[in-house]
A and B are shown apart, each in its own frame.
Chain A
Amino acid sequence: MNGIHDLGGMQDMGDLPFEANEPVFHEDWERQVLGTNVVLNMLGAYTVHELRYSMERIPPLQYLASPYFLHWLDGIERLLLEKGYVTQEELASGRSSSASPPGRRPAGPPPQHPAPPPPSNPPRFKVGDRIRARNLNPRTHTRLPRYVRGRLGTVAACPGAFEFADGLAQGKGGDLQHVYSVRFEGSELWGPDAGPKDAVYIDLYESYIEAP
């Protein structure tokens, strides 16, 4: 989704918010949001990919204006509603209603999904290959940022196969895909405005790239 979260390459986002002796959490609710999210993740209530997609759907003005852990809180609420764990009425009142649908799963260890089979094809690319990031614009979650789409890069490493985040984010299976660490020269991404000897490395699924 071409959303506000896809920030790479923008230049007008203001100064870096430095803070000396920054604590891990500024307020207790941030601690509670982190803990709730990690536990729900571990219990299999949702995946980190689903949470990211949920946060990407925060309206852009709200996304830019709200602090980081509020993104998580908004994202968690949306997912719990979408997955039927809670209702809007319950969230508003803070009390579970008898009319509410039962939670999907009891507390306990996450369901054991069988590991997806390895990719059916050998890696299409190898270290040193020139590739082009495909120009893809899915309406849903993707880990292919806009700033590399259509750009030429070089495979720098083949770190292995990973489940396809775009599928996992929609609650679907994530097929295992070969992933490539791809180097893009600054001049290829930013033209003559790039700094001297700058490069960006990014990890791309095989379905994100093609022979140039």
Chain B
Amino acid sequence: MSDSHTEPPSTPALRIKAIQQLLQEKGLLPPGAIDKIVDAFEHKLGPKIGARVVARAWTNPDYRRQLLTNAVEAIGEFGSHDPHLAVVERTPTIVVENTPAVHNVVVCTLCSCYPWNVLGLPPNWYKTPPYRSRVVIDPRGVLAEFGLKVPDDVEVRVWDSNNELRYFVLPQRPAGTEGWSEEKLATIVTRDSMIGTALCKADSR
């Protein structure tokens, strides 16, 4: 919000440093707190959590049922239990399941709401106007740009996570993975498949 017309523009790096210094001088920001948060977000969250959740759901019908009815508890099994992520990991979450008849895809048209608890921070495209604007009005066109052609007889459900609930997609288990272990299955569950902009493939590692 640099409304100064006479001063030289400040870089983002300088601006956030100034904020941090000021708040620390004023005793509003505990020293070291930011490093711990950033470390937890960067290294303990991410789509690997979601991939483990999906692989478990593919191999364990009881877990799948629990995931579809009480996702927070089911996901919690794979959570970091890092106290810095406690709020993130308690996020109310709904899992929507892809079937041969229904394909689901997630967006936040108003900002960038995203299931941090299972996928970590969102990719840039998820947060930008091209995706947020168009996926609700032309989901099939947008998915085609990801290389995903949804047949006309398959229903497309777009989930606009505009409120307190976060959504993520339980993709279909691909053919050719019969007999695979949970660990091996987790390796083919991509971030995009859990947003709904891709399918899982046996060779997508």
Interface of A with B (CB < 8 Å)? 5-11, 13-19, 22, 24-25, 27-36, 38-40, 42-43, 45, 52, 55, 58, 64, 67-70, 73-74, 76-78, 80-81, 85-86, 90-96, 102-103, 105-107, 143, 145, 147, 159-160, 162-163, 165, 179, 181, 183, 189-190, 193-205
CB–CB B7/A202 < 8 A: no
Known contacts A34-B121, A39-B33; A7 and B109 CB within 8 A of each other: yes
Q: Tell me how far the C-beta of A80 lies from the nearest C-beta in chain B, rounded to whole angstroms.
A: 7
Q: Tell me how far the C-beta of A161 lies from the nearest C-beta in chain B, rounded to whole angstroms.
A: 10
Give complex CA distance A91, B17 in Å.
10
CB–CB A35/B37 < 8 A: yes
CB–CB A143/B124 < 8 A: no
Question: Interface digits, B90-114 against A, CB 8 Å rule (1 contact, 0 not)?
Answer: 0010100000000000000111100
Which residue from B22, B111, B145, B157 sits with its C-beta under 8 Å from A90? B22
CB–CB B87/A36 < 8 A: no
Chain A residues positioned under 8 Å from B13 (CB to CB): 27-29, 32
Interface hits, B120-148 → A, CB 8 Å: 120-121, 123-125, 127-134, 136-142, 145-146
- Name which residue of chain B comes closest to A28, CB basis: B13
Chain B residues positioned under 8 Å from A18 (CB to CB): 125
CB–CB A13/B133 < 8 A: yes
Give complex CA distance A85, B153 in Å.
56
